[in-house]
Structure 1
Amino acid sequence: MEFHIDNMTCGGCAKSVTKAIQSVDPEAKVDIDLGAKVVRVISSSEEAAIAGKLDAVGYSPRRAA
């Protein structure tokens, strides 16, 4: 799954996004392209659960194009 997160602007943001995703699925593989503000996630968790957690911590995701 891929998300675009407009307000992910620095390494600290990337770390927070990774932590939020891994709080839903500790085994999730997270790949962040900070320049493009895109997060790619490989997880067995539901996309909605991950998106909901990101939204809850202030990083509202939208589907990457």
Structure 2
Amino acid sequence: MTTTLQIPDMTCQHCVATITKLIQQADQSAQIQIDLSQHKVTVDGKLDAPALITLLDEAGYTPSEL
């Protein structure tokens, strides 16, 4: 399943690395595309939007589904 999230507080390469690591720890086979300038993350994997939002929210980010 493919999910696109808006993460307004993803502002730097450290955020990108952290978010990528969190998602890959939860789903090693996930394909992740990140557009830092647009603050968008697209994930093609086994986690649905609510699971991804919870995962990133617990890490201190404020994602919402697009």
TM-score, structure 1 as length reference: 0.90
Residues in 2 aligned to 1:45 and 1:4: alpha-carbon distance in whole angstroms = 16
Deviation at 1:28, TM superposition (A): 0.6
Q: Give me the identity figure in percent.
A: 34
Q: Which aligned segments of 4 or more residues in structure 1 are displaced greater than 3 angstroms? A: none
Aligned length: 64
Partner of 2:44: 42
Unaligned runs of 5+ in 2: none
Unaligned runs of 5+ in 1: none
Residues in 1 aligned to 2:31 and 2:60: alpha-carbon distance in whole angstroms = 21
Instruction: For 2:62, give the aligned amino acid.
Output: S
Residues in 2 aligned to 1:48 and 1:35: alpha-carbon distance in whole angstroms = 23
Secondary structure of the corresponding residue to residue 40 of structure 1: strand
TM-score, structure 2 as length reference: 0.89
What's the Cα RMSD here?
Answer: 0.9
